[in-house]
Amino acid sequence: MTYIVKPQLHHPTLTKNKVGYTRRDYEGRISTLCAGCGHDSISAAIIQACWELDIEPHRVAKLSGIGCSSKTPDYFLGASHGFNTVHGRMPSVMTGANLANRELLYLGVSGDGDSASIGLGQFANAMRRGVNMAYIVENNGVYGLTKGQFSATADRGSKSKKGAINSDSAVDLVGIALQLGATYVARSFSGDKAQLVPLIKGALAHGGAAFIDVLSPCVTFNNHAGSTKSFDYVRQHNEAVSRIDFITTKSEITAEYAAGEVIEVQQHDGSMLRLRKLKDDYDPTDRLAAMNYMQSHAARGEVVTGLLYVDPLATDLHLSMNTMEVPLASLGPQELCPGKAALDKINASFR
């Protein structure tokens, strides 16, 4: 099918953010996904997050792989450049893009087939390198575009729509991200926008590798009884460890919560994450504890959501590479070409 034109008529009374854009300016083309798809809710959350963060849309580069999830960047941030790459290899393209221009915000959107099956290696290595990015996996445990095969995040014992039982262990992307050094790791649910929007805002403002695993039920192929990625299953097993509020600057903090219930984390750019702890025994700044917590709760069949881990002093690939402050892509011959005199010297060294 070809694309559908979306009317661009804006209601004059729509609220504008600080940079002068309405929420609708962050929209993209009309989605071609199935009605009720969890992915569309995530797109809406991304739009909301970017609008609330006062990000100029063209300062975002959105990248994706292949699959239902990877089509979605066409459905939000229409004024941003997007790149729908190849299956499972978006992380490398995003890494290269980021190296070329460190001034843009990098938003990666992928799926569970894309990141956990064909692209597990690239997913792992991008986390390991600390690419400054917000990497969202829209996780439904199933291949949609090819009509319902299991992906690598499908839980062992879960049942496909056609009745097949998955006998392979599930790839735990959150566990991998934590282990490999991602500095912002969260899990959420496409049906919980109140939780998801601040998590995306936090990820976009984070100064290193930020990963959000968003359970996003596939209404067509994976929303039946026996599936562990259905709306009903996720709702019943959702164990939120925290609620986060995202605040752009410290000054905006208002005392809404009782002492002891709230953790405040200041990120690189000065933005604050205020975490309302829902579990007393959870500390999202302790990576080892987070890994342990995730494992033990997963063993009980619980789906732990919320901001699972954050390192507010995160570093990124540019810091490890000691690159210039300005984008490498902006440099010209003046800055890059060593010139004839240097070449003559080099020639002499080869004689």
Partner 1 sequence: MTQPIQATNDFVIKFANVNGSGSASANELFAKAVIRMGVPVAPRNIFPSNIQGLPTWYEARICEKGYSGRRGGVDMMVAMNPQTWDADVAEIEPGGYLLYDSTRPIPPSKFRADIQVIGVPLTEISNTAYTDPRQRQLFKNIIYVGVLSVLLDMDASVFEKLFAEQYKGKERLLDSNVQALNLGRDYAKRHLKHPLGIRVQRADNVGDQILVDGNSAIALGCVYGGATVAAWYPITPSSSVAEAFQKYCEKLRVDPATGRNKFAIVQAEDELASIGMVIGAGWNGARAFTATSGPGISLMQEFIGLAHFAEIPCTIIDVQRGGPSTGMPTRTQQSDVLLCAYASHGDTKHILLFPQDPHECFEFGATALDLADRLQTPIFVMTDLDIGMNQRLCKPFEWDEARAYDRGKVMSAEDLEAGKDFGRYKDVDGDGVPWRTLPGTHPTKGAFFTRGTTRDAYARYSERGPDYVYNMERLLKKFATAAKIVPQPVVKKAAKDTRYGVIYYGSTTPAMQEALDVLEADGGHFDSMRLRAFPFPESVHRFILEHDLVFLVEQNRDAQLRSLIINELEIDPARVMPVLHYDGTPITARFIVRAIAKAVREREKPATAKEAA
Q: How many residues bind partner 1 (CB under 8 A)?
A: 65
Taking contact as CB under 8 A, which single stretch among the options 52-60, 187-195, 230-238, 271-279 is the one that binds partner 1?
52-60
**Residue closer to partner 1 (CB basis): 211 or 233:** 211
DSSP string, 92-146: HHHHHHHHH-TTSEEEEEEEHIIIIITTHHHHHHHHHHT-SEEEEEEE-SEETTT
- Nearer Cβ to partner 1 (94/186): 94
Binding of partner 1 by 33 (CB under 8 A): no
Which of 123, 150 has the CB closer to partner 1? 123
Whats the size of the chain, residue-wise? Answer: 351
Q: Which residues ranging from 79 to 108 are in contact with partner 1 (CB under 8 A)?
A: 79-87, 89, 91-101, 103-104
The secondary structure of 227-294 as a DSSP string is: -SSSHHHHHHHEEE-EEEEEESSGGG----S-TTSEEEEE-TTS-EEEEEESSTT--TT-HHHHHHHH
Side-chain-side CA neighbours of residue 163 (13 Å): 0
Instruction: Find the shortest distance in angstroms from Cβ 100 to partner 1.
Output: 3
For residue 250, count other CB atoms closer than 10 A to its CB: 11
Give the nearer residue to partner 1 in terms of CB position, either 129 or 201.
129
Of the candidates 166, 298, 295, the one whose C-alpha atom is nearest the C-alpha of residue 222 is 166
Contact with partner 1 (CB under 8 A) among 33, 41, 115, 129: 129
Does 140 engage in binding with partner 1 (CB under 8 A)? Answer: no
Q: Should residue 350 be labelled a site residue for partner 1 when binding is judged by CB under 8 A?
A: yes
- Positions that interact with partner 1 (CB under 8 A): 1-3, 56-59, 61, 63, 73-74, 78-87, 89, 91-101, 103-104, 121-122, 125, 129, 317-318, 321-325, 327-333, 335-340, 342-343, 346-347, 350-351
